[in-house]
Amino acid sequence: MNMPLVVQKYGGTSVGTIDRIQHVAQRIARIRKTGTQVVVVVSAMAGETDKLVKLAHQICDNPERREMDLLLSSGERISSALLTMALQALGIPAISMTGRQIGLQTDSVHTRARIKQIDAKRAQQALKENNVIVVAGFQGINEKGDVTTLGRGGSDTSAVALAVALGASQCEIYTDVDGVYTADPRMVPKAKKLDVVSYDEMLEMASLGAKVLQIRCVEFAHKFRMPLVVKSSYIEGGKGTLICEEDSNMEQPVVSGIMYDKNQAKITLKEVPDQPGIAANIFGSIADAGLSVDMIIQNISAEGHTDLSFTLDREELNEAMVIMEKVAKKIRAVNVSADSKIAKISIVGAGMRSHSGVAARIFKSLSKEKINILMISTSEIKVSCIIEQKHTKAAVNALHTAFGLDTKPTPIKSIENKNSPARKKSKIKKK
């Protein structure tokens, strides 16, 4: 009597109103009637979590994280109870569960807890009794039994963890976009939806600012090889984007996506003495302050002095400048300056592993647009460039064209069915 099982996660806009909740209930009812078991994970109704955060901040600037968790977890409870009622109203047996009831155990790092394991006994029983389970995402309990939350956007991670624990065939993430795009469609009119993206690519994209999925959710899915599908809850029958293991038989486009991030700033130290220990001094003090540096370049030295630049998140610029002024004095650098009118443009593609000339093509197409490159960094499947912010749109569009993304990327063999590797079941252990 082994029925197929899917885990579906619905984001805040998908359950944002009673209408939307009823719409989602109808979707689930249809799938349920095909004989598939469904476990649903919900986010709080759109805007709800922000509202709760604001309430807390009306009382104090730095509320205790433990109390924040209890407060924030309530948003997801509301949507899970309402969706369960909507299912029941359609005659579908359904049961709502909080993080505690679903057995999701985490560490004790309040407001950004990590999942340790899921004790899925109760869920398995509820499934046996033919229920759709509607789980309040984003939350668990620690070993003391206190409520914890998984960090903003954490319901995605709840969904993947449950999919793994219950041995689901895949985890479907329903949101307000119909998949992962080659670029931000607001910036690049010719952006196309991707059919398939590898975990590695998705991880790069998520950390470069693609908002579709929480980074940790992708890490989790990768670790347990759980296929993820991103789809829109507004479109019926859309295929969305499948995120899965790279398939060596697959015809890889060289580049899958072009990302941009305008939220960067650059600090330059001029005429730094070129001696051992200087970089350690600079970046040690940045690290001590808990700030994180992204790219670093150092010029070749002239007469024992060199210039050194690095980038970091714009929000951290002021704090970093205060530190750098001090460091500059200590190491006798001549001058420190900041530039926040920059943007980071990145090209991501697993196909880069086996193709050469990617960097050259980037430089050529940017130079054709007369865009100057200020900094460059590369990794196995990514090249990032810092440019002046005013050129962002031109750069992203030029690269989108240069890498052949304006037309639908090379047809990729569907690997949806082939890709069902053995997965670890029931217990999820922390790394």
Separation CA 155–CA 83 (nearest Å)? 15
Which CB, 221 or 333, lies closer to Mg ion?
Answer: 221
Q: Which of 6, 10, 12, 385 binds ligand ASP (CB under 6 A)?
A: 12
Binding site partner of 409, from ligand ASP, Mg ion, none, Cβ cut-off 5-8 A by kind: none
Regarding 154 and contact with ligand ASP (CB under 6 A), the answer is yes
Strands (E) in 274-332, as ranges, are 293-298, 305-313
Q: Is 103 or 154 the residue whose CB approaches ligand ASP more closely?
A: 154
3 state SS of 229: strand
Q: How far apart are CA 239 and CA 326, in angstroms?
A: 54
Binding partner of residue 154 among Mg ion, ligand ASP, none, CB cut-off 5 to 8 Å per kind:
ligand ASP
**Burial of 351 (C-beta count, 10 Å sphere; 0-12/13-18/19+):** buried
Applying CB under 6 A, among 16, 75, 179, 349 the residue interacting with ligand ASP is: 75
CA angle 56, 210, 66 (to 5 degrees): 25
Asked if 137 is part of the footprint of Mg ion (rule: CB under 5 A), the reply reads: no
CB of 212 to ligand ASP, least distance (A): 12
Q: Under the criterion CB under 5 A, does residue 153 sit at the interface with Mg ion? A: yes
349 sits near Mg ion (criterion: CB under 5 A): no
- Buried b / exposed e over 371-389, threshold 16 CB at 10 Å, is beebbebeeebbbbbbbeb
Helices (H) and strands (E) in the chain, counts: 12, 18
Tell me, residue by residue from 43 to 62, as one string, x for binding to ligand ASP by CB under 6 A and - for no binding. xx----x-------------
Q: Does 99 bind ligand ASP (CB under 6 A)?
A: no
- Taking alpha carbons only, the member of 198, 205, 257, 260 closest to residue 400 is 257
Number of residues binding to ligand ASP, judged by CB under 6 A: 12
Q: Choose from Mg ion, ligand ASP, none: what does 99 bind? Cβ within 5-8 Å by kind.
A: none
Site for ligand ASP in 121-150 (CB under 6 A): 137-138
3-class DSSP state for residue 44?
A: coil
103 binds ligand ASP (CB under 6 A): no
Query: Which of 152, 262, 305, 314 touches ligand ASP by CB under 6 A?
Result: 152
Asked if residue 11 binds Mg ion (CB under 5 A), the reply is yes
Q: What angle do the packed helices 358-368 and 392-402 form, to 10 degrees?
A: 130
Contact 233, 175 (CB under 8 A): yes
Which residues, listed in sequence order, are joined to residue 303 by a DSSP beta bridge? none
Q: Which range binds Mg ion by CB under 5 A, 5-13, 133-141, 242-250, 254-262? A: 5-13
Q: Contacts with ligand ASP in 371-400 (CB under 6 A)?
A: none
Q: Is 153 in the site for ligand ASP (CB under 6 A)?
A: yes
CB of 9 to ligand ASP, least distance (A): 8
Under the binding rule (CB under 6 A), the answer on residue 349 touching ligand ASP is no
Residues 178, 183, 184, 190, Cα dihedral to 10°: -90
Distance in angstroms between the alpha carbons of the first and the last residue of the chain:
34
Q: In angstroms, rounded to a whole number, what is the distance separating the alpha carbons of residues 238 and 233?
A: 9
* Residues near Mg ion (CB under 5 A): 11, 153
* Residues near ligand ASP (CB under 6 A): 12, 43-44, 49, 75, 137-138, 152-156
